[in-house]
């Protein structure tokens, strides 16, 4: 959030600039607000500003030394805060909304610089190859049933009526895989398949200088069946990362866990939001929070000024 425009008189105050990206303030030369002052504030609010009402602003404004011709009223200055929709953030949010609305699986976000990222997605068959390679017909039948429920869930616009079937098919697949475990299947390939199921609809977050090291993770609350299962009994409850406190990611060299941290809405007119998870591993935790804050600042412009303290507190409460 940064100031929107400098207004030094009533005429300019009534016409806020939409294009200004400079640090600016609203300067008022009146002891009482002019008639069009609140309209100017409402215009700013319509463009996404978070502002106070005229009365609140005058009561909370900070006095500064007077300037101008002798005898003028002392000036009162206050800041109108408005989000600057940088192309990076707008593009990033739009890209994520587009990806999460498609019939593909987001598996990685490679954070490159200033919050910019490169997304990696795969199709259904590519993601589930570890299960298909097992050659177990029961697993394949259950996977096909999950695929059908997953497609209906997405094509319905994530309608709540499709959630129960989607969750049931997911956990049915997990049950079939666990039941199929025997001495022959209890191998690296079987554990790889298990990790693939547990990491379904979760994505790894990696830095630009790494090809495979996952430092953090994330998921979408409308697409993750484990999260949605917790909401089945409380459909009207507000979304909360605590419905899914721990996740894992498929495709890692070794299984890792990530614990819940923050939730971010992608758009004011969309119910879709992302849940972000730093690494449980103490050796990765500092780099994990640094990477997450970089990504979050590139998507929403918000950062966490108490990263280190929050990391320690959350870890102690969950791990």
Q: What is the pLDDT of residue 267?
A: 79
- pLDDT for 130 beyond 80: yes
Q: In angstroms, rounded to a whole number, what is the distance separating the alpha carbons of residues 214 and 229?
A: 26
Percent of the chain scoring above 90 in pLDDT: 39
Q: What is the 3-state secondary structure (H, E, C) of the chain?
A: CEECCCECCHHHHCCCCCCCCCCCCEEECCCCCCCCHHHHHHHHHHCCCECCCHHHHHHHCEECCCCCCCCCCCCEEECCEECCCCHHHHHHHHHHHHHHCCCCEEEEEEECCCCCEEEEEECHHHHCHHHHCCCCHHHHHHHHHHHHHHHHHHHCCCCHHHHHHHHHHHHHHHHHHHHCCCCCCCCHHHHHHHHHHHCCCEEEEEECCCCCCCCEEEEECCCCHHHHHHHHCCCCCCCCHHHCCEEECCCCCCCCEEECCEEEECCCCCCCEEEEEEECCHHHHHHHHHHHHHHHHHHCCCCCCCHHHHHHHHHHHHC
Q: In angstroms, rounded to a whole number, what is the distance separating the alpha carbons of residues 197 and 210?
A: 24
Q: Is the pLDDT higher at 235 or at 167?
A: 167
Owner of token pair 């910019």: 116
Least confident interval from 64-68, 131-135, 222-226, 246-250: 64-68
Q: What is the pLDDT of residue 86?
A: 64
- pLDDT for 221 beyond 90: yes
Q: What is the pLDDT of residue 75?
A: 39
- pLDDT for 293 beyond 60: yes
Owner of token pair 């007119």: 269
Owner of token pair 């412009």: 301
**Do residues 197 and 258 touch, judged by C-beta distance below 8 A?**
no
What's the average model confidence in pLDDT over 212-223?
Answer: 92
- pLDDT for 37 beyond 90: no
- pLDDT for 20 beyond 60: no
- pLDDT for 30 beyond 50: no
pTM, entire model: 0.68
Which of 38-42, 105-109, 284-288 has the highest average model confidence (pLDDT)?
105-109
Per-residue pLDDT tens over the stretch 54-94:
333 333 444 444 444 444 444 343 443 434 456 667 777 88
- pLDDT for 222 beyond 70: yes
Burial status of residue 150 (CB atoms within 10 A of its CB: 0-12, 13-18, 19 or more): buried
Q: In angstroms, rounded to a whole number, what is the distance separating the alpha carbons of residues 222 and 108?
A: 18
Mean pLDDT, all residues of the chain: 74
Q: Is the pLDDT higher at 258 or at 54?
A: 258
- pLDDT for 99 beyond 50: yes
**Do residues 51 and 44 touch, judged by C-beta distance below 8 A?**
yes
Per-residue pLDDT tens over the stretch 44-59:
434 443 333 333 333 3
Q: Is the pLDDT higher at 176 or at 209?
A: 176
What's the average model confidence in pLDDT over 144-160?
Answer: 96
Q: Is the pLDDT higher at 76 or at 198?
A: 198
Least confident interval from 133-147, 180-194, 257-271, 274-288: 180-194
Q: What is the pLDDT of residue 246?
A: 94
Q: What is the pLDDT of residue 82?
A: 37
User: In DSSP terms, which residues pair with 26 in a beta bridge?
Assistant: 7, 78
């Amino acid at each position: 959030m940064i100031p929107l425009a400098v207004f030094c008189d009533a005429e300019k105050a009534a016409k806020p600039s939409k294009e200004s990206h400079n640090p600016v303030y609203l300067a008022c030369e009146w002891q009482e607000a002019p008639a069009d002052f609140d309209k100017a504030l409402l215009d700013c609010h319509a463009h996404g500003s978070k502002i106070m009402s005229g009365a609140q602003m005058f009561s909370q404004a900070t006095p500064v030394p007077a300037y101008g011709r002798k005898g003028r009223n002392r000036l009162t200055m206050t800041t109108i805060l408005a989000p600057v929709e940088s192309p990076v953030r707008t593009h990033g949010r739009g890209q994520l909304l587009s990806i999460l609305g498609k019939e593909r699986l987001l598996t990685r976000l490679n954070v490159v610089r200033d919050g910019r990222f490169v997304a990696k997605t795969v199709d259904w068959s590519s993601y589930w190859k570890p299960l298909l390679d097992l050659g177990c017909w029961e697993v394949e039948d259950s996977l096909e049933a999950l695929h059908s429920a997953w497609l209906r869930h997405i094509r319905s616009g994530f309608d709540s009526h499709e959630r129960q079937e989607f969750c049931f098919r997911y956990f049915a697949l997990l049950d079939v895989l666990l039941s199929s475990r025997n001495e022959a299947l209890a191998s690296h390939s079987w554990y790889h398949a298990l990790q693939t199921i547990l990491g379904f609809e979760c994505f790894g977050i990696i830095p630009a200088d790494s090809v495979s090291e996952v430092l953090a993770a994330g998921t979408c609350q409308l697409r993750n069946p484990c999260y949605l299962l917790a909401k089945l009994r409380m459909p009207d409850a507000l979304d909360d990362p605590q419905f899914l406190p721990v996740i894992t990611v498929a495709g890692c060299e070794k299984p890792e866990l990530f614990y819940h941290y923050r939730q971010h809405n992608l758009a004011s007119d969309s119910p879709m939001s992302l849940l972000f998870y730093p690494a449980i591993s103490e050796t990765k935790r500092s780099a994990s929070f640094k990477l997450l804050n970089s990504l979050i600042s590139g998507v929403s412009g918000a950062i966490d000024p108490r990263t280190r303290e929050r990391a320690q507190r959350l870890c102690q409460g969950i791990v």
